[in-house]
Structure 1
Amino acid sequence: MIEVKDLKKTFRVARREGGFGEAVKALFHREYEEIHALDGVSFSIADGEMVGYIGPNGAGKSSTIKVLSGILTPDSGKCTVAGRTPWRERRAHVKDIGVVFGQRSQLWWDVPVIDSFELLKEIYSIPAQTYRKNLDELTETLDLSKIVCTPARQLSLGQRMRCEIAASLLHDPKVLFLDEPTIGLDAVSKLAVRDFIKLRNRDFGTTVILTTHDMQDIEALASRIILIGKGRILLDGTLADIRRGGEHIDETVAELYKKFDV
């Protein structure tokens, strides 16, 4: 399903000290730093697998997701999702994937959620019968019936995230990328989101890649974990492989960060 081989991506970031004098100096001479977001990342994920993709801030998680979803073009390396190269075949590729960014929204802020769903129906050219069937199933499973007619800006964070997940699944994607989908959610909302993701994977065989800092999300959802740090894959194994280093997964991951100087 997903094959990634030696992906590399470098960003050039401008740096300067604070103060008016430094700002004036930067107008004529800027200093740059190269950030190696991805430094030879390689892995493969089978059809229907659910994988936790974890690492500290700046490790390269979101950059990987953006490459896999076709948003970013890597400097070098190969990547195929369902046989397609994401950044070269974007139009065909997006019909097979769903993406949820915990800190980004695909819903129109000032209109009822159902209007955003209708717009996505047209964008993805979803047949009317398929759209109605999926909308009814997602509305019932995610308990959206009372909020789909409410503007997105008036929803709580937990309500909005449930709507975001529904929006990403209206077109029946084969792969679901979840980038910190439970960030900022209360305990009840987290449980609801986790249960739905497990249900979707079990009943539809949807391949799921989950990035999160919440180790409870990982324990509840992922049987396999890929640990990334400083743009490099540090560990690729099962939850049991990581647990061998300690009783609690969050403490074990912290020890791995220290071991690899992340």
Structure 2
Amino acid sequence: MSLIAPKVRTIDAVRDVTFQVEPGELLAFIGPNGAGKSTTIKMLTGILHPSCGEARVLGFVPWRQRRELAFHIGSVFGQRSQLWMHLPPQDSFRLLGRIYEVPDRDHHRRIAKMAELFDLGELLTTPVRKLSLGQRMRCEIAASLLHSPRVIFLDEPTIGLDVIAKQKIRDLILTANAEEGMTIFLTSHDAGDIEKLCKRVIIIDRGQLLMDASVQALKRSEHFTLRTIGVRMSRPVESFEMEGVEILKKKGPGMKLQVDGARVPVESVIRRLMEFGHLEDISVRMPSLEEIIARIYREKGLPGAPPEATADDGEEP
């Protein structure tokens, strides 16, 4: 007799998500952990079969025509490698050429082009296990482009990389997009990837679409109206009150203010400050894309959203 009675609960990992991607577009598909990003990608690449709904990639139904679709798409899934760890990348490239049935002449030409584009050089003959993460990621992306795909799925391509390596990967992605004209479907938790690479962003959570907008529209939205003003006056300001303005920090003659640009122009705040004395130093900072996304997450009550900044957070005023 069993004392354990398992309970089964059905969860819709993705539901009511509708979008269309134009050829050559560089799209960010983001959301907190468990939002349904990976599930969506697995359906679009034919790995998972949805219980209902429709999807087409380049005219193919992914889960019904997975093999045919595979010849037209490429993918890089974070830390999971398509390269053989004990072989140098050039050997993996040859194997991938066979898998994708690329004619030898064309394949040699593609390897040469990818080696030049991604500055692979001696990396081609170095066993993958001896490459740094940044070097391996360059080889991974190059490998995904060898068969000239029309769409490439990049899942966290810069995860774990240092600042220099991240910038290198971003530059290579932009170059590949420009030269190859491919559509790039990017998922990333790094707002820098989104801001520097993409013109459009889709945000999902719990399998549902929350937002589909251009990055520029996102920056022009209500989430982008807050400004942080740091000032150092000629003398301390005892009291400062103004509609749409919150004092985040005050220390001696220095102050850090948060200004809601939708309620009061920054210029009006500066003019008001000048009534209290000479402004020795002033800086105005717009929120980063990362802060905008974090605010959207908080407003939607999404898991993993960072807390709102407090008066004690950040740099000195």
The alignment's TM-score, normalised by the length of structure 2, stands at 0.72
Aligned position for 2:195: 219
**Aligned counterparts of 1:220 and 1:32: Cα–Cα separation in 2:** 43
Q: How does 1:98-247 map to 2 (within 5 A)?
A: 98-243=74-219, 244=221, 245-246=223-224, 247=287
In structure 1, the partner of 2:68 is 92
Offset at 1:25?
4.8
1:31 Cα shift?
3.1
* 1:253 aligned partner: 293
CA distance, structure 2, for counterparts of residue 42 and residue 258 of structure 1: 23
Residue aligned with 2:79, SS: coil
How far residue 70 of structure 1 moved from its aligned partner, in angstroms, is 0.9
Identity %: 46
Deviations 1:176-217 (A, max 9, x none): 100001100111111111111111111221000100000010
Cα distance in structure 2, aligned partners of 1:72 and 1:152: 29
Q: Specify the code of the residue in structure 2 equivalent to 1:150.
A: T
Displacement, 1:260? Answer: 2.0
- Unaligned runs of at least 5 residues, structure 1: 1-23
Select the residue among 69, 93, 108 that pairs with 2:45. 69
Does structure 1 residue 34 correspond to structure 2 residue 10?
yes
**Deviation by residue 1:30-84 (Cα, 9 ceiling, x = unmatched):** 2334333212211000111110111111111111111111111111110001111
**Paired residue for 2:228?**
none
Which stretches of structure 1, 4 residues or longer, exceed 6 Å deviation after superposition? none
The CA distance in 2 between the partners of 1:261 and 1:39, in whole Å, is 19
Instruction: State how far apart, in whole Å, the 1-side matches of 2:292 and 2:8 are.
Output: 35
SS at match of 1:197: helix
Distance 1:114 1:242, change over 3 A: same
Compare 153-162 and 243-252 and name the one that shifted more: 243-252
State the alpha-carbon separation in 1 of the partners of residues 176 and 3 from structure 2. Answer: 55
Q: Secondary structure at the match of 2:20?
A: strand
Alignment-mate amino acid for residue 242 of structure 1: L
- Partner amino acid, structure 2, of 1:140: E
Question: How many pairs were matched up?
Answer: 237
Q: CA–CA distance in 2 between the matches of 1:31 and 1:143?
A: 53
Amino acid at match of 2:65: E
**RMSD over aligned Cα, in angstroms?**
1.3
Q: 2: distance between equivalents of 1:216 and 1:123?
A: 34
Structure 1: distance between partners of 2:58 and 2:19: 14
TM-score, normalised by the number of residues in structure 1:
0.87
Q: Secondary structure at the match of 1:84?
A: coil
Q: Output the CA distance in 2 between the equivalents of 1:70 and 1:48.
A: 21
* Letter paired with 2:8: Y
CA distance in 2, matches of 1:228, 1:219: 17
Structure-2 residue corresponding to 1:58: 34
User: What secondary structure does 1:237 align onto?
Assistant: strand
Q: Report the structure number with the largest CA radius of gyration.
A: 2
Q: Could you give the per-residue CA deviations for residues 217-236 of structure 1, whole angstroms, max 9, x where no partner exists? A: 00111000001111111000
TM-superposed CA distance for 1:261, in Å, is 2.3
2:212 alignment partner AA: D
